[in-house]
Structure 1
Amino acid sequence: MLLPGVLYFIVFKYLPMSGLVIAFQDYRPFLGIGGSSWVGFKHFANFFNHPDFWMLFRNTSVLALYNLFFFFPAPIIVALMLNEVRQRYLKGWIQSLIYVPHFLSWVVIVGIAYIFLSTEGGVVNELLVGLGGDPINFLLSKEWFRPLVVLEVIWKETGWGTIIFLAALAGVDPQQYEAARIDGAGRLRQLWHITLPAIRSTIVILFILRLGHFLDTGFEQIFLMLNPMNRQIGEVFDTYVYTAGILQGQFSYTAAVGMFKSVIGLALVVGANRLARKFGEEGIY
């Protein structure tokens, strides 16, 4: 049963890591890795001294923090709410409904956002005008770019993220709730003293793993949401790698950018894991 998963990580995660050596080369596709000259940390120095570095770092970090503070707790809250639904049919129907957006591509999600938020016939702006307000150009607004990105992520992935938390909640001994009710504990007391401690280790592990992808804000969604009006706050490392690496052919330079992201993620995971173990949690290793 483990073999397909192990093969997936070996083929698509570990073997491609050998290609990271081009971050230290002046890589030429026709010469290959063996024939390209070595340049050391030249590409890293160029990246850190690039005029757009701090803009990219700020945009990526802000979006990552938004996702961490607003998206990460969303599946936990929804899972706790679903756990309180006693009718199995209703609970199953709600779960199926909120899982669906996960299977939609970002092209579809962003397309739906454009339909709802457009200034010409968009449902939201039509409602605002109907209430006596002025239409808002959400799609071209710098102020609305980040909230829209986070809201789209929450709508798409919250339902799917509840699966692991619901699985953890299913392992809670019902006798603990019965004993708490006998002692006079209400729903909130049971939630605070039984439910949350039962899934605390799961929350900590997923939080640590999430930090490993801290700077991975997602390419497809951001790329589809970008336009000349919001690019100054919307351009992130992922879209920059596409522009510089794929469109401009700077393979070694963008490999250095990708390695920089990975090193930051590794440092965050190691630091968060040590901090978790200091507070008595198991961590991920």
Structure 2
Amino acid sequence: MLNTNDGTASTDSAHKGGAASGSTIRSNRPVPLLKRMARSWQLYVLLLPSLIWLVLFAYLPMYGLQIAFREFNPMQGIIDSPWVGLAQFERFFESNNFVPLLWNTIALALYELIAGFPIPIVLALALNALRQKYLSRSVQLITYAPNFLSVVVVVGILMMILDPQIGVVHQVAGALGIDAPQFLTDPGWFRHIFVWSGIWQTAGFSAIMYLAALSSVPPELHEAAKVDGASLFRRMIHIDLPSIMPIAVILLILSVGNILNTGFEKVLLLQNPLNLTVSQVIDTYVYEVGLKSPIPQFSYATAIGLFKSVVGLILLLAVNFFANKTTKSGLF
């Protein structure tokens, strides 16, 4: 009887265990996509305006990219304009403007990347290390405020400071009997003015993203490092810097992918006939041939823009692949 009861009990337990495991298996089945969307419909409603904006202003305009392969005539429309294949690209690559434009664009972008990328990181590390919070907030406010100025205002300030007739620098230099350089017309000064004024305008805003990452560092790590005798500099290098490395890598990937997109408005506003040898970049050239010329060359300008986009995509994928291999952090 004991054996029988034990067998029955074990059988019942097996059935119960099987039923429990069956219910567990059923509960682990993936929920269909539509059900998941229905459960979180409020989030999708919030997402809808951004999605509509993206489709209208980012994806639908891609239909017009085909004019890069046509001799576009506004009177004929896109479809009826004659197909020319890669003729517009060949024209750009074989033109005398190709090498100077590419060099001016890459030189300006690399200068901006090399000089401007580390400064927000250093600024964020310094602000995070300040123990006087009122001083940290004051410096953060001062460095962040220029970000609210438009490009037109920034260039206007530069004109007021560096103009050879009414500029503050030239007036002070004249009072001291010193000949000040022609900052706005000398080609040698164009890149320096462009890059460092941009750093002044955007460094504070970029530092905020790094400060947000630094705020997630546990204070116990710094306390333990202090007990071990680590200096402030060593704590910044071995604790703070690794914590912001993932976001720094992502921003670097985006910057490299955007390397051919210089600040068009600022370049155009600082450009003049005397500094044209270094200030004429791809963006300003596209503006001239596509919109400013007496006979707008829409197809040619679109082909140049498409060339920029393809190069940017290739660079982004290459740098992202390299980042994933070396730092294990990337966009995708």
Decide: shared fold, TM above 0.5.
yes
Tell me, yes or no, if the aligned pair for 1:273 and 1:283 is still in contact at 8 Å: yes
**Which of 314, 317, 321 in structure 2 is aligned with 1:267?**
314
Shift of 1:17: 1.8
Aligned length: 285
Which residue of structure 2 aligns with residue 56 of structure 1? 101
Amino acid aligned to 1:161:
S
Shift of 1:244: 0.3
| Rg comparison, structure with higher value | 2
Deviation at 1:223, TM superposition (A): 0.4
Question: Is 1:283 paired with 2:330?
Answer: yes
Task: Kindly provide the amino acid, as one letter, of the partner of residue 144 in structure 2.
Answer: Y
Distance 2:118 2:50 in 1: 27
Task: Identify which of 178, 182, 185 aligns with 1:133.
Answer: 178
DSSP 3-state at the match of 1:139: coil
Q: Residue 222 of structure 1: CA displacement? A: 0.3
Counterpart selection for 1:212 from 257, 277, 289: 257
Gaps of 5+ in 2: 1-45
- 1:77/1:131 Cα in 2 relative to 1: closer, same or farther (>3 Å)? farther
For residue 132 of structure 1, report the CA deviation from its aligned partner: 4.6
1:200 to 1:92, Cα distance in 2 relative to 1, 3 A: same
| 1:98-152, Cα deviation, whole Å (9 max, x unpaired) | 2222221211111110111122232222333445531211011011011000011
Q: Within 1, Cα distance between the matches of 2:305 and 2:177?
A: 48
Partner residue, 1:106: 151
Q: Aligned equivalents of 1:81 and 1:157: distance in 2?
A: 17
1:9, 1:83 → 2: CA distance?
36
Q: Which position in structure 1 is the counterpart of 2:115? A: 70
Amino-acid identity (%): 45
The correspondence for 1:258, drawn from 298, 302, 305, is 305
Using structure 2 for the length normalisation, give the TM-score: 0.82
Match of 2:40 in 1: none
- Residues of 1 paired with 2:175 and 2:186: CA distance? 21
* Secondary structure of 2:184 counterpart: helix
- Partner residue in 1 for 2:224: 179
Query: Partners of 2:253 and 2:128 in 1: how far apart?
Result: 24
Q: Give secondary structure in 2 for the equivalent of 1:67.
A: helix
Structure 1 residues 187-228: Cα deviation after superposition (integer angstroms, max 9, x where no partner): 000011000011111111110011111011111100011111
Structure 1: segments with no counterpart, 5+ residues: none
Distance 1:44 1:231, change over 3 A: same
**Alpha carbons of 1:97 and 1:280: their partners in 2 closer, same or farther (altered >3 Å)?**
closer
